[in-house]
Amino acid sequence: MNRTNNAEMEFTLNRLPGTNDKWLPIMEPAEVKKALRFHRSFPQYEVTPLHRLKKMADYLGIGGLYVKDESYRFGLNAFKVLGGSYAMARYIAGKTGKDVDDLPYQVLSSPEFRREMGETTFYTATDGNHGRGVAWAAHQLGQHAVVRMPWGSSETRKANIAKEGAEVTIENLNYDDCVRLAASQAEADPNGVIVQDTAWRGYTDIPSWIMQGYGTLAIEADRQLLANGIERPTHIFIQAGVGSLAGAVVGYFANKYKGNEPIMCVVEAGAAACLYRSAVKGTGKTVRVTGKLDTIMAGLACGEANKIGWDILQNHAAGFAACPDWMSAKGTRMYGVPLAGDPVVISGESGSVPMGFMASILKYPDYEYVKEALKLDSNSQVLLVSTEGNTDPTRFREVVWDGLYGVRHRGDAVI
């Protein structure tokens, strides 16, 4: 892994041609509420915290900073289970001719329903969090899971998936090629189905349902902001791999605040920034990023966009950023060692990059042009999502204890 500390962030405003916005309706509040009802049926369901970082907001010069902390989600330390579990329920509903509202957890997990449905094996590719969520949901519902992980995946994350009873391997492939492997294996299995948030020709239902499942965190955050007296966030910074979470969050808030949308910016790992590169190309067509996708942000190491999410982002994201690894590490340390009076947020490398990005554009003169382009000022009310907690303890300690990707930015100013 390249551990240099002088890589720079790249940014572009969204100047893409608009489309007919055909995918925006999947994230309408009524659809998201259906996913929320399903998730509420799980005995493990609790609303994850929305932390107010008042001192950090003052330090950064903005009006308010709120962080949705997904490390508490279902005891799995990441948000991903929201999408996989809901997509699996929607698939089962279609297979049995039922409405998902008639299939809460208590029904899906019952021995009687398992006998009615029969056996299904859910295949997926993952760096860890999505696969763990699929494996957990399959285990809860008495079904099977097969998980393929890309090269360089954490043994800790692999072990967590195996604990849920899944068949799991680390392949000598990058993430996107693991998706193709899992899809081919599911196709060859008479009882197999691929549960992936990457859409392709003929495969759009399950990715759409996964995005709707992610909508649970968006509607929770929206309601929590209202409870904090924030009628509407002015800015949302959201991380992206294939763009499913970003499309889900941007899609939800674009539907909720039609005609007065927040300024929403997508941040990616620089080594795998397929959305940023697609935005720079400017035609509306997606760009593939190939190779080993070498980044500390394993959950964002995806080189091929989800075209459903991309369509929403093309119409509603204000800007796109390709972030170096030091921004992620900086965000993890800022969350973990907060200003006095603010809560501690334990955020892994893929969860923390929006914080590192935002702090950098607000505090470093080199990036002031981004601050101005995104209209950040003392009145801004900002929403971030920390998508994962400490899911790879070895890497987390390297970042926080050992200063991995500590940065010297433009000369001798240590950051």
Instruction: Check 68, 69, 80, 330 and give the catalytic one.
Output: 80
Residue type, 51: H
Cα distances from 380 to residues 40, 324, 335, in angstroms, run 32, 25, 19
- In the numeric block, the tokens 């970003």 are attached to 246
Q: Are strands 381-386 and 64-69 parallel, antiparallel or unpaired?
A: parallel
281 tagged catalytic: no
DSSP 242: S
Q: Answer for the pair 166, 138: CB distance below 8 angstroms, yes or no.
A: yes
Which among 149, 196, 193 has a CA at the least distance from the CA of 171? 149
d(CA 364, CA 366): 5
Instruction: Check 69, 127, 176, 311 and give the catalytic one.
Output: 127
3-state SS of the chain: helix, strand, coil percent to 5?
A: 45, 15, 40
d(CA 222, CA 248): 13
| Two tokens, residue 19 | 């489309």
What are the residues facing 265 on neighbouring strands? 237, 319
d(CA 405, CA 334): 13
Q: Answer for the pair 357, 267: CB distance below 8 angstroms, yes or no.
A: yes
127 tagged catalytic: yes
Q: Are strands 235-239 and 263-269 parallel, antiparallel or unpaired?
A: parallel
Task: Give Cβ neighbours of residue 154 (< 8 Å, ≥ 6 apart).
Answer: 127, 128, 298, 391, 392, 394, 395
Kindly list the catalytic residues.
80, 127
